[in-house]
């Protein structure tokens, strides 16, 4: 009987071959050539000591500021309890009873993204769900996000022409259905500072007039937000798309220094009433490959490296837009579901308030049934928040996401509620009963009257 012997040139190659199949790694020539090779790589990866990830950076330290951030901020004391472990032993520990929320919170600063990615590669989906449900990451601005038994939502009232009336109508629709406690966040169609400033003022008026305990964000580039802060615009959260390498972040037009400057500017406004988590980041598997800045590293590991960037700036929210980048990187529903579970697990393990845009583009081999599956799995895994898009169909970005009703479904299924301050507001406004279920009382008309003409 013939026996196949598999060898892997270095840690970077081993990590790539151990990844569950996805189209982006195949496109980059990094994927395992067969299921047998993938299984062999996972067996070998399970025996890799965690300390090796500290000694063998996958992206060069001297040329990449994300690698320098990961290495220079590593907390050796936090790492000490697991420093003797292999990747496989860390998996076993994470699935055991000792890995409770306090233990995981203490461990998070000691884990590098590469360690988190490695252990995720040898986990089944059920492992990712169980282990992802245990870390508890709580953040605050005008409400409290991430508490046990809670599922928040981003109300996403995008409009193809940034029409204020259209945006306001979507906001009302979402608020009436209990959406918007994570953030009311607009992706603007325009990059005009004037238009973005008008949208910020609209959101601020809605929140202040309604005394709504939530926060607003217009998802424009960080440098544009800095300019708007200088002009006195009412900025709650600073948004930026980020990635796992310096080159990919450069393709977004951003550096770590700019993120630090923006965070300091937002903090100086002192607009938070309960906390000072002022950053909102979005990520997605495949962004480094798309930018030609992947350095031969697989896309899931690079996604985890983006979380090191995020946690350096103490964000309120981090969102993996899991299926948005397209089938070139996540081909079908199976790959999107797996990636969403990986991203949530890795982000939570590294100490981040992870949300997920459960989504797909219309040219992917996926449909809304796949999204129902991922939404349900993520909710059981304790995802911090999901998207609320009118009809689940974003008419500006032209992709499919989750609707206000989808969030209501999963809250009802699992007995989850919005952030406590937002829940109290819904009940006080007569928009929800004592179980958090939407009502249709006269208070709805009052809310519409307040927003009339915006």
Nearest to 287 by CA among 255, 254, 321, 260: 321
> Which residue in the block uniquely carries the two structure tokens 């993204």?
113
Instruction: Compute how many other C-beta atoms are within 10 angstroms of the C-beta atom of residue 210.
Output: 17
Q: How far apart are the first and last CA of the chain?
A: 76
User: What are φ and ψ of residue 337, in 5° steps?
Assistant: -60, -50
Yes or no: say if 101 and 147 are a contact pair by the CB < 8 Å rule: no
Q: Where are the beta strands (DSSP E) in 76-182?
A: 139-140, 144-145, 152-155
Q: What is the pLDDT of residues 401-419, one digit of tens each?
A: 999 999 999 999 999 999 9
> What value does the mean pLDDT take over residues 243-248?
98
Query: Quick one: 406 exposed, middle or buried, by C-beta within 10 A (0-12, 13-18, 19+)?
Result: buried
- What angle is formed at CA 163 by the lines to CA 157 and CA 167, rounded to 5 degrees? 25
pLDDT at 441: 56
**Model pLDDT, residue 440:** 64
Q: Is 27 exposed, middle or buried (0-12, 13-18, 19+ CB in 10 A)?
A: middle
Q: 438 pLDDT band (50/70/90 cuts)?
A: confident
Residues 6+ apart with CB under 8 A from 435: none
pLDDT (tens digit per residue) in 67-113: 999 999 999 999 999 999 999 999 999 999 999 999 999 999 999 99
Tell me the pLDDT band of 444, cut-offs 50, 70 and 90: low
Q: Which of 40-44, 224-228, 355-359, 446-450 has the lowest mean pLDDT?
A: 446-450
Q: d(Cα 160, Cα 47) in Å, to the nearest integer?
A: 51
What percentage of the chain has pLDDT greater than the value 70? Answer: 96
Helix (H) or strand (E) holding 450: helix 442-451
- Give mean pLDDT, residues 160-178: 95
Q: How far is it, in rounded angstroms, from Cα 53 to Cα 112?
A: 8
Q: What whole-number distance in Å separates Cα of residue 396 and Cα of residue 188?
A: 8
In the predicted model, what is the mean pLDDT of residues 319-342?
Answer: 95
Residue whose entry in the numeric block shows the structure tokens 């009336």 = 165
pLDDT band at 185 (very low <50, low <70, confident <90, very high): very high
Is residue 454 scored above 70 in pLDDT? no
**pLDDT over 70 at 32, yes or no:** yes
Query: 135-168: per-residue pLDDT in tens?
Result: 999 999 999 999 999 999 999 999 999 999 999 9
The Cβ of residue 234 has, within 10 Å, a number of other Cβ atoms equal to 18
Q: What is the pLDDT of residue 450?
A: 60
- What is the pTM (predicted TM-score) of this model? 0.95
User: Residue 379's pLDDT band (boundaries 50, 70, 90)?
Assistant: very high
Residue 436: per-residue pLDDT: 75
The distance of Cα 253 from the centroid of its chain, to the nearest Å, equals 20
Model pLDDT for residues 118-139, shown as the tens digit of each residue: 999 999 999 999 999 999 999 9
State the average pLDDT over residues 351-358.
98
Question: What is residue 430's predicted lDDT score, i.e. its pLDDT?
Answer: 87
The pLDDT mean for the chain works out to: 95
Of 296, 320, 355, residue with least CA distance to 243: 320
Residue 122 to residue 39: CA distance in whole angstroms: 9
User: What angle, rounded to 10 degrees, do the helices at 113-121 and 87-94 form?
Assistant: 80
Contact 11, 58 (CB under 8 A): yes
Q: pLDDT of 88-98, one tens digit each?
A: 999 999 999 99
Average pLDDT on 282-289 reads 96
| Cα distance between residue 384 and residue 50, in whole Å | 28
449 pLDDT higher than 70: no
Query: Residue 443 pLDDT more than 70?
Result: no
Q: How far apart are CA 173 and CA 171, in angstroms?
A: 5
Residue 27, token pair as written in the block: 């496109």
Taking Cα atoms as reference points, which of 174, 183, 188, 206 lies closest to residue 388? 174
Place of tokens 């076993």: 92
**Model pLDDT, residue 435:** 76
pLDDT at 388 over 90: yes
Q: Where are the beta strands (DSSP E) in 235-374?
A: 238-241, 279-283, 317-321, 354-357
Environment class of 211 (CB within 10 Å of its CB; exposed 0-12, middle 13-18, buried 19+): exposed
- Which pair of structure tokens corresponds to residue 55? 């000694």
Q: How many CA atoms lie within 13 A of 53 on its CB side?
A: 32
Q: Please check whether residue 427 is in contact with residue 421, taking contact to mean a CB–CB distance below 8 angstroms.
A: no
Helix (H, G, I), strand (E, B) or coil at 228: helix
What mean pLDDT comes out for the span 177-201? 96
pLDDT band at 434 (very low <50, low <70, confident <90, very high): confident
Q: Cα(358)–Cα(304) distance, rounded to whole angstroms?
A: 18
pLDDT at 253: 97
Q: What was the pLDDT predicted at 2?
A: 67
Write down the pLDDT at residue 447: 60
pLDDT (0 to 100) of residue 448? 59
Assess whether pLDDT exceeds 70 at residue 334.
Answer: yes
Residue with tokens 């569950």: 20
Q: Give the pLDDT of residue 190.
A: 94
- Whole-number Cα distances in Å, 267 to 111, 247, 275, 352: 27, 27, 10, 19
């Amino acid at each position: 009987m013939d026996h196949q012997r598999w060898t892997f040139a270095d840690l970077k190659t081993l990590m790539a071959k151990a990844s569950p199949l996805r189209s982006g790694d195949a496109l980059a020539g990094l994927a395992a050539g067969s299921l047998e090779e993938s299984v062999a790589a996972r067996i070998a990866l399970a025996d890799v000591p965690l300390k090796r990830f500290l000694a063998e950076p996958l992206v060069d330290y001297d040329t990449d500021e994300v690698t320098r951030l990961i290495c220079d901020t590593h907390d050796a004391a936090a790492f000490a309890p697991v420093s003797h472990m292999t990747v496989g032993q860390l998996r076993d520990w994470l699935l055991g009873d000792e890995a409770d929320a306090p233990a995981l919170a203490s461990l998070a600063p000691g884990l590098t993204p590469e360690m988190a990615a490695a252990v995720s590669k040898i986990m089944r989906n059920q492992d990712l769900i169980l282990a992802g449900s245990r870390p508890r990451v709580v953040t605050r601005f005008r409400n409290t996000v991430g508490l046990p038994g809670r599922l928040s939502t981003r109300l996403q009232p995008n409009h193809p022409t940034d029409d204020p009336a259209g945006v306001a109508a979507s906001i009302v629709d979402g608020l009436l259905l209990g959406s918007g406690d994570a953030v009311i966040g607009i992706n603007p169609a325009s990059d005009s500072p004037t238009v973005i400033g008008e949208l910020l003022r609209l959101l601020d008026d809605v929140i202040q007039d309604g005394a709504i305990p939530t926060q607003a964000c217009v998802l424009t580039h960080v440098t544009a937000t800095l300019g708007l802060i200088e002009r006195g615009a009412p900025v709650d959260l600073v948004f930026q798309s980020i990635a796992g390498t310096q080159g990919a972040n450069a393709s977004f037009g951003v550096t770590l220094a700019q993120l630090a400057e923006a965070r300091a500017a937002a903090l100086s406004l002192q607009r938070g009433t309960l906390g000072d988590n002022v950053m909102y980041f979005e990520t997605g598997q495949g962004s480094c490959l798309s930018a030609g800045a992947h350095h031969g590293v697989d896309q899931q590991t690079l996604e985890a490296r983006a979380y090191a960037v995020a946690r350096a700036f103490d964000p309120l929210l981090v969102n993996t837009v899991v299926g948005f980048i397209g089938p070139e990187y996540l081909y079908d529903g199976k790959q999107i579901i797996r990636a969403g579970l990986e991203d949530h697990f890795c982000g939570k393990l590294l100490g981040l308030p992870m949300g997920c845009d459960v989504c797909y583009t219309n040219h992917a081999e996926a449909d809304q049934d796949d999204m129902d599956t991922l939404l349900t799995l993520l909710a059981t895994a304790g995802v911090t928040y999901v998207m609320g898009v009118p009809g689940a169909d974003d008419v500006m970005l032209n992709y499919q996401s989750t609707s206000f009703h989808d969030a209501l479904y999963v809250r009802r299924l699992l007995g989850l509620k919005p952030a406590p301050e937002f829940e109290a507001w819904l009940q006080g406004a007569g928009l929800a009963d004592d179980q958090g279920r939407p009502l249709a009382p006269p208070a709805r008309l009052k809310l519409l009257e307040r927003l009339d003409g915006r």
